[in-house]
A and B are shown apart, each in its own frame.
Chain A
Amino acid sequence: MSLPLPNSFRTGPDERGHFGTFGGRFVAETLMPLILDLEAAYIAAKADPSFMAEMKGYLRDYVGRPSPLYFAERLTSHLGGAKIYFKREELNHTGSHKVNNVLGQIMVARRMGKKRIIAETGAGQHGVATATLCARFGLECIVYMGAVDVARQQPNVIRMEMLGAKVVPVQSGSRTLKDAMNDALRDWVTNVENTFYCIGTIAGPHPYPAMVRDFQSIIGEETRAQMQEAEGRLPDSLFACIGGGSNAMGLFHPFLDDPSVEIFGVEAAGHGLTQLHAASIAGGRAGVLHGNRTYLLMDDDGQIQDAHSISAGLDYPGIGPEHAWLHETGRVTYLSATDDEALEAFQLLSRLEGIIPALETAHAIAKVMQLAPKRPRDHLMVVNLSGRGDKDIPQVGDILKGRQK
């Protein structure tokens, strides 16, 4: 697309939360004063060296950072092209990248004196991370989760409950992530005085997309330094799966102004782009939902359509506004992987590398499987291993058993 290119892709959003025409603050008046307070609290926290030092300490000793950058030797030789590295976010405490963001937000919530934390979750990874940090800091935790997801991600429901969180199964709409977010927003409007809404991805009203990106950017910052150490240069390409887009933006953002680095986000194509899917860039258009303007799946009347993905964490009809902008400017290329491609990648990675990835992550691996063979052997490819697949074992086990019959 032919928009005038900015001097830098890393300076957004503007003071009103816009990335180009995307983003903004489309929320009910009840929430606006709180969102402005949150923005002020976050700006103050970022500028406070003691806040940053405390966060660094928890990231090292509680989360277990830095996460390794690992050369996936067997996958590389199997695919016979690019040299593939994994950024091992699945090794973080709680098993995914989600904890990076939750730690930051919980520390902001504590600064604001909020004692009640709410969150939405799809796969349950964000819910587990939120429940974990609420346990660690003695905060009340309520997690909204679509009833469909409660059924398909049972291990994470049990984990959240063990950690002392209350999991509320959401029965409205398609009973997945979008509906969980609606109910979390309804809770927030109702309990706005004492409640902090810990959003799990780079969506929602400003300042959430920018704040969550900032907390996740440690993924890309570490990758840059680790690749420098391993290979003495920048990577040539980056891959990550996209639900709302937080693990992807965390990896991508520090590289956006390096034109030699090709960047690929992978959406969930579900049953295929002509059928039910969750690829809002491939199959959607600009609209307004959940506090921001972004690409959404919808009908001609502007009614939001149900998404479908085998992976609960990607089963959302939208995408973070910064991705919508990076798509329109052409800086990032958005691809998509189907349920079947993700399942195949899930199995391949388990057997070749001894790493069972989350089904979300498997979507990124699926595109690496297609593109790595087409790149030369000195091409350095990094894929964000955003989460581990323990939560998916019952679901994938059932699907594979069903197919054998």
Chain B
Amino acid sequence: MTTRIDTRFAELKQQGRSAFVTFIMAGDPDLVTSLEIIKALPQAGADIIEIGMPFTDPMADGPSIQAAGLRALKAGTTLKKTLDLVRAFRNGDAATPLVLMGYYNPIFIYGVDKFLVDAKSAGVDGLIIVDLPPEEDEELCLPAMRAGLNFIRLATPTTDDKRLPAVLANTSGFVYYVSITGITGAASADSSKVAAAVARIKRHTTLPVCVGFGIRTPDQARAIASTASGAVVGTALVDVLSGSLDAEGRATSKTVNAVADLVRSLAQGVRAAPQAAE
């Protein structure tokens, strides 16, 4: 099985650079604006798009992404509407890989089998589900693989060499290295430590290793992209989006451009990085 994610990493390898991965919450601050933002991302330099599935109780997220999820829910976003958003994006873009990221309960309630069919047909390529460690692979990871979707696992500073093989076993697409112990939006990682961690993971897998949590500036993005196969930015984009809203939390004429501008400058950071060693 080859997904858009695999194809994209193969292309980037040929171009000799790392991937820039962006995270945005579906339906933040409303579904129409959120579709416009997502449509603007590839143009602005995003190589892979992660779309958050809002959840009331995001226990691994900091205040920024918590607030983004609540804005999205308030605007009426549901898992079904998130899939509609993906479908709408796919109508105009057949190539950019899309990864849905979130928590298990809304998928469990939607129904795992139905979700996998609907996600695949909408044009989703991969899933990152924060609260499904390898111990729970039978829930969604194995069915997703059978359905032709990548299940992208998080590895963290606490995932030691003994545990890494279990974490990597059913991972596909790429490995997402969470560079800090903490929630989204917390402190930035020290790039030399990240380089060592990426090297350690690379000893166990041939999959691309992307790094996220704590990357906010083009310089940080460049530093990470020079050691990893990709740099993931989420909270910084959500913050700029939130800063562009009016007092009632509604989108303004600045919202889409504010996000796109930051994506553009971060993408330049990633593109300025010397390619990470394979």
Interface, chain A (partner B; CB < 8 A): 16, 24-34, 172-173, 178, 182, 185-186, 189-193, 287-291, 293, 296, 298, 300-304
Contact = CB atoms under 8 A, between A and B. Distances in A.
Identify the interface centre among A16, A27, A186, A190: most chain B CB within 10 Å of its CB.
Answer: A186
A296 B103 CA distance: 15
Interface of B: 55-60, 62-63, 66, 73, 78-80, 103-110, 130-133, 135-136, 153-160, 163, 167, 178, 181-183, 186
Q: Which 7 A-B pairs rank lowest in CB-CB distance, beginning with the nearest?
A: A302-B109, A302-B106, A190-B182, A30-B156, A301-B78, A185-B59, A26-B131
Contacts of B79: 301-302
Contacts of B182: 30, 189-190
Given A25-B135, A30-B157, 17 more contacts: A16-B135, A24-B136, A25-B136, A27-B131, A30-B182, A31-B158, A32-B133, A33-B159, A173-B57, A186-B62, A191-B181, A287-B109, A288-B108, A298-B109, A301-B106, A302-B110, A303-B56
A302 B105 contact: yes
A186 B158 CA distance: 15
A302 B107 contact: yes
B159 A190 contact: no
A301 B66 CA distance: 17
Contacts of B103: 288
B21 to A, nearest CB: 18
A41 to B, nearest CB: 16
B181 A29 contact: no
Grouping DSSP codes into helix (H, G, I), strand (E, B) and loop, the A interface class, with mixed when no group exceeds half, is: mixed
B129 to A, nearest CB: 9
Nearest to B67: A172
Contact of A26 (B80, B136, B181, B183): B136
Contacts of A298: 105, 109
A303 B59 contact: no
Which of A173, A189, A191, A193 counts the most chain B CB atoms within 10 A?
A189
18 contacts: A28-B60, A28-B133, A29-B159, A30-B181, A33-B160, A34-B158, A172-B63, A185-B59, A186-B60, A190-B181, A190-B182, A190-B183, A193-B158, A288-B103, A288-B104, A288-B108, A303-B56, A304-B57
B130 A28 contact: yes
A304 B56 contact: yes
A303 B55 contact: yes
A237 to B, nearest CB: 35
Determine which residue in A25, A34, A289, A302 has the highest number of CB atoms from chain B within 10 A of its CB, and name it: A302
Nearest to A171: B63
B107 A29 contact: no
Given A24-B136, A32-B163, A189 B183 contact: yes
Contact of B60 (A189, A287, A303): A189
A332 to B, nearest CB: 24
Contacts of B63: 172
A284 to B, nearest CB: 11
A287 B108 contact: yes
A293 B139 CA distance: 11
A191 B62 CA distance: 14
Contacts of A192: 158, 181
Contact of A301 (B109, B136, B154, B178): B109
Given A16-B135, A29-B167, A33-B158, A189 B181 contact: yes
A116 to B, nearest CB: 14
A324 to B, nearest CB: 14
A26 B110 contact: no
Nearest to B107: A302
A194 B103 CA distance: 26
A186 B163 contact: no
Contact of B109 (A29, A31, A300): A300
A288 B130 contact: no
Contacts of A300: 109
A304 B73 CA distance: 11
